[in-house]
Chain A
Amino acid sequence: MAILVSKKVTKRFGGLEAVSKVDLEVPEHAIYSIIGPNGAGKTTFFNCVTGFYTPDEGVILLNNRNITGLSPDRVARLGVSRTYQNIRLFKNMTAVENILVGMQPHLKSGVLGAIFRDPRTNREEKEAVEEANRLLVYINLKGMGDLLAKNLPYGQQRRLEIGRALASKPKLLLLDEPTAGMNPRETQDMVNFIRRLRDELGITILLIEHQMRVVMSISEQITVLDFGVKIAEGTPSEIQKNPQVVEAYLGRGAASGLSQTPVEV
């Protein structure tokens, strides 16, 4: 069964079609990758799924429910969570606070609860903090909860960002280049970690990735975008043999990478 389906999703910026009639079907519990040269429209596609952009055409379904054009917070509440290419933590909040913000969709207490501190609010708050601390342990940041996010080393910031996304108990997790800027050792750890998320928590993972080694080892399905158009789809071994993909990467790769950067934000 597919958790995420996109049908003919198109997003234009002025005359430029950043994403053009993209069809995609992400099966539940899969690790699914979107690859493509710089400017291929991968992040734009993510932004369409998470509600930051409303597609100009096409439909996005989450568990058969149409989420096209919903606001980002609504999409988040329906169980879609994401990380960013360039880490976007709440830098001046502590690690625990970052995770607590991620739990937002599950907290019910309102203004009056916050002011009068009724037992239910207190219980909810206490449970949230405990849960956050458990999550910190899970992402291996035990004991670092009170550090400001910006003071954490790079690799830990990456994991905290994932932790924050996990806090909302997503069904679908979108990871935008989770291994960017990592050395081979760190990259391998991240790959293991992503597998754990799927195996232990049962989360479906959709990721954008540049390092081919990572993509080929981790993905079960791959979609290749080039100039906003889907040029191939299949298992890693199929993709590796696809002549169009090879052309996109090697033939015009360098040139298109330079000329099209504005799309990829």
Chain B
Amino acid sequence: MKSESSYWVKTIQNGLIGGCISLLLALVGLVLAFGKTYVISGLFTMGQVFFLAPILFESYMSVRQAPSKKIITLLAIGGLVGLLGGVMLVIIIAIQQVINLREVLLNLSPNLVTLLTFNLPLAAGLVVLLVVSIAIGVIGAAFFLLPDRIRSAISQAFLTVVLLGLFRDLIVTVIGNWGPVENAFLWLFAQSGLSILGAIVVFVLVGALVYWRMGRDKKATSITRNPRQQSMVRWGRMAVLALVVLLLPFILGSYFSEIFDNVGIYILMGLGLNIVVGFAGLLDLGYVAFYAIGAYTLGVLTTSEAVGILHLTFWEATPIALLVAVFAGVVLGLPILRLRGDYLAIVTLGFGEIIRILVLSDWLKPLLGGSEGIQRISQPTIGSFIFGNQQRLYYLILVGILIAGFISVRLKDSHLGRSWMALREDEDVAEAMGINKVITKLLAFAMGALFSGLGGALFATKIGSVYPQSFSFIVSINILSLIIIGGMGSIPGVFIGGLALVGLPLLISQFADFRYLIYGAALVAMMLIKPEGLSPEARRRLELHEVIEEVPIEEPTTVLKTPGESGGR
């Protein structure tokens, strides 16, 4: 019985945690920012999703861990979690009516209160808030009681609806480019979010699809496809993916193409930093320096302004920009590569700042333009074809990414890749194995600088101008974060990390203000739940998870026999 009573304590804890998260999301302004972003038009908003989802989640988790399997108990647990979560919101609103908390909690505005109380008069609103919270808690519990197949169907269908609602603007704009097809889809959407009919159709379709697939999967295990079919399916998927990637600018239109250009530049640099940090294990916090060097070199060499020198074309200037970036990488690398871990991080961080300050300085102003930067950077051309808009630049960036990705894949699976890994694992031993520490580390540094410089050159030509503000420390942190989120050392991880961390805040403008909040939360959550990243390298997954299951039990007898028996003395 003791476990049961301690379980109730845990339930109360979970309820309070759910309430805290809801409250936090509300008080930082996330709920209000999405207060008018309908998921289903007229029915509920993304803001409401934000403050109710934590309660739903906590209630589901509580029920899942519950020792009792009685339906009533489980529903009661869910209700309790919901009640506690709701009470926390109610209390803060109630206090706000008596004492003005806005002095401290800036976002606790009348608008937020109205939103949390569902546009009702205060008293009635608070009651409704409580009732809704409890209901959400009970729904979370009930959800647990459903059979697997139905639960997956409902959760995935609901998630799809929320995502479609959230990405409504993107989708509508994209469909808008398609001409006649447009009308076949537009009825799904309202002014904001999905239309009610659209939501029902999507929910039912996705739910049914998931339900059907899960049923089929069970059968499919007995009739496994032959390898040839499998490889055909795989090739088919690759082909579709390649086609989508190739046609993306046409599908997306110019506004969203720019977003993907930005994401692309980050992915390109992520691939470079992944070599430095992920492969070779050198924590570089000043990665932005090479980005700045690439961008400014290209700027100085190609601008048609008076400050420019040489006035080269993009194609002539880019190799020089890359060389300068690599040279900077080597020059920085040589003295500091003897440092390890934290010390290396601090020195590189300093280097990043030095470059930014140099660029801003009056001393270099005649050449680099100081805080006014360099304008009128030339655009790349091939014959009469000018990479003059965001859609065309996309292809240039894509080529850069492909080259970087190709080089990454090849290097990773080579003896240089193994040397990096060995240095990451144990520097002293790697040296004793004949690996030249300085050269090997310099190669990693130079590779990183190369891709960062390329990213900078593309960035400069894309914007058409460069300013010192574009090269702040936070860029290094962004790139590092996207590698960590994607999975250190994982090449697909860079793409996923880039889309998630850079793409999302750009695609959904309301997120922009909360960008760093989300970064922080995502990093903490990743470290706790999935330290190997979203798309981990196979090796890392082994390192961090499966070890527990795979450690062979040591059996002295078998261990002993081996060398002696074959040694045969």
Checking A76, A92, A103, A114 against B543 with a beta-carbon cut-off of 8 angstroms, the contacting residue is A92
Nearest CB in chain B: distance from A49 CB, A:
11
- Contact present for B563 and A192 (CB under 8 Å): yes
Tell me whether B2 is interfacial, beta carbon within 8 Å: no
B465 CB, nearest partner CB in chain A, Å: 33
Q: Is A264 an interface residue (CB 8 A)?
A: no
Cα–Cα, bound, A235→B415 (Å): 43
Q: Are A189 and B560 in contact (CB under 8 A)?
A: yes
Cross-chain pairs A/B with CB under 8 angstroms, 30 sampled: A50-B432, A73-B434, A73-B435, A81-B432, A81-B433, A90-B422, A90-B429, A93-B421, A101-B421, A101-B422, A102-B433, A104-B419, A105-B433, A109-B415, A114-B415, A114-B417, A115-B407, A115-B410, A121-B414, A140-B566, A153-B555, A154-B554, A168-B433, A183-B556, A185-B564, A189-B561, A189-B562, A192-B563, A192-B569, A193-B563
Specify which of B417, B419, B559 is in contact with A186 (CB 8 Å cutoff): B559
B103 in the interface, Cβ–Cβ < 8 Å? no
Would you call B437 an interface residue if the criterion is a C-beta within 8 Å of the partner chain's C-beta atoms? yes
A134 at the interface (CB under 8 A from B): no
B74 within 8 A of A: no
Question: Are A151 and B433 in touch, CB under 8 angstroms?
Answer: no
For A188, what are the chain B residues with a Cβ–Cβ distance below 8 Å?
Answer: 564
Is there a chain B Cβ closer than 8 Å to A77's Cβ?
Answer: yes
List residues of chain A with CB within 8 A of the CB of B382: none
- Whether the pair A76, B434 counts as a contact (CB closer than 8 A) is yes
Quick check: is B227 within 8 A (CB to CB) of the other chain?
no
Interfacial chain A residues near B422, Cβ < 8 Å: 90, 93, 101
Contact B567–A84 (Cβ < 8 Å): no
Chain B residues near A152 (CB-CB < 8 A): 552
A125 to B410 Cα, complex, angstroms? 13
Most buried by A among B411, B425, B547: B425
Tell whether, in the assembled complex, residue A104 and residue B554 are in contact, meaning their CB atoms are under 8 Å apart: no
Q: Which of B430, B551, B564 has most A Cβ within 10 Å?
A: B564
Is the CB–CB distance between A52 and B564 below 8 Å?
A: no
Provided the pairs A52-B428, A114-B414, A140-B562 are in contact, do residues A90 and B421 lie with their beta carbons within 8 angstroms? Answer: yes
Tell me whether B23 is interfacial, beta carbon within 8 Å. no
Question: A101 with B433: in contact, given A92-B539, A189-B560 (CB under 8 Å)?
Answer: yes
* B265-291 contacts to A (CB < 8 Å): none
Contact with A along B285-306 (1 / 0, CB 8 A): 0000000000000000000000
**Across the interface, do A101 and B419 meet the contact criterion of CB distance under 8 Å?**
yes
Q: Is the CB of B433 within 8 A of A88?
A: no
The complex places the Cα of A105 from the Cα of B430 at a distance, in Å, of 11
Q: Does B237 contact A (CB under 8 A)?
A: no
Partner of A73, one of B415, B437, B563: B437
A139 touches B547 (CB 8 A): no
State which of A91, A93, A116, A156 has its C-beta within 8 Å of the C-beta of B418.
A93
B419 to chain A, nearest CB (A): 7
- Other than A100-B418, A164-B433, give 7 A-B pairs with Cβ distance below 8 A: A92-B543, A104-B435, A115-B406, A115-B407, A151-B552, A183-B560, A185-B564
Give per-residue flags for B391-419: 1 if the beta carbon is below 8 A from chain A beta carbons, else 0. 00000000000000011001100111111
With known contacts A148-B543, A151-B547, A183-B556, A196–B435 Cβ distance under 8 A: no
Q: Which of A84, A121, A192 contacts B564 (CB 8 A)?
A: A192
B163 is an interface residue with CB less than 8 A from chain A: no
Docked complex Cα distance between A61 and B566 (Å): 35
- B contact residues around A114 at 8 Å (CB): 410-411, 414-417
Q: Is A159 an interface residue (CB 8 A)?
A: yes
What B residues does A100 contact at CB under 8 A? 415, 418
Least Cβ–Cβ distance between A180 and chain B, in angstroms: 15
B434 engages A90 (CB within 8 Å): no
Contacting pair A189 B564 (CB below 8 A): yes
In the complex the two chains form, is B560's CB within 8 Å of A90's CB? no
Residues of B near A90 (CB, < 8 A) are: 421-422, 425-426, 429-430
CA distance A50 to B566 in the complex (A): 31
- On whether A111 and B567 interact (CB within 8 A), knowing A72-B432, A88-B426, A93-B422, the answer reads no
With a cutoff of 8 Å between Cβ atoms, the chain A residues found around residue B436 in the complex are 71, 73
Which 8 A/B pairs are nearest by Cβ-Cβ distance?
A: A114-B414, A189-B564, A76-B434, A105-B434, A192-B567, A155-B559, A90-B425, A72-B431
Kindly report which residue of chain B lies nearest to residue A72, judged by CB atoms. Answer: B431
The reply to whether the CB of A209 lies closer than 8 angstroms to some CB of chain B is no
Contact between chains at B425 and A196 (CB < 8 Å): no
* Interface residue range, chain A: 35 or more
B551 to chain A, nearest CB (A): 6
Closest-by-CB residue of A relative to B431 is: A72
Q: Which residues of B contact A164 (CB under 8 A)?
A: 433
Q: How many whole Å from B433's CB to the nearest CB in chain A?
A: 5
Confirm or deny: B342 has a beta carbon within 8 angstroms of a beta carbon on chain A.
Answer: no
- B550:A140 contact, CB within 8 angstroms: no
The answer to whether B411 touches A115 (Cβ under 8 A) is yes
- A97 an interface residue at 8 Å Cβ cutoff? yes
A residues in contact with B569, CB < 8 Å: 192, 195
Query: How far is B434's CA from A107's CA once the two chains are assembled, in angstroms?
Result: 11
| Min distance, Cβ B253 to any Cβ of chain A, angstroms | 36
Q: Is there a chain A Cβ closer than 8 Å to B443's Cβ? A: yes
Q: Cβ of A156: which chain B residues have Cβ within 8 Å of it?
A: 559, 562
Does A190 sit at the interface, judged by CB under 8 A?
yes
Kindly list chain B residues whose C-beta atoms are within 8 Å of the C-beta of A159: 562-563
Chain A hits for B364, CB < 8 A: none
Contact A125 B415 (CB under 8 A): yes
Q: How distant is A135 from chain B, measured CB to nearest CB, in Å?
A: 13
Task: Tell yes or no: B527 within 8 A of A by CB.
Answer: no
Chain B residue nearest to A153 (CB atoms) is B554
B170-205 CB mask vs A (1 if < 8 Å, else 0) is 000000000000000000000000000000000000
Cβ–Cβ contact B559 & A104, under 8 A? no
Say yes or no: is B542 at the interface (Cβ < 8 Å to chain A). Answer: yes
Within 8 A of B (CB), among A106-160: 107, 109-111, 113-117, 121, 125, 128, 139-140, 148, 150-156, 159
Q: Which residues of B contact A115 (CB under 8 A)?
A: 406-407, 410-411
CA of A196 to CA of B565 in the docked complex: distance in angstroms? Answer: 12
Q: Is A82 part of the binding interface, using a Cβ–Cβ cutoff of 8 Å? A: yes
Chain A residue contacts of B414, Cβ below 8 A: 109, 113-114, 121, 125
Least Cβ distance of B476 to chain A in Å?
A: 25
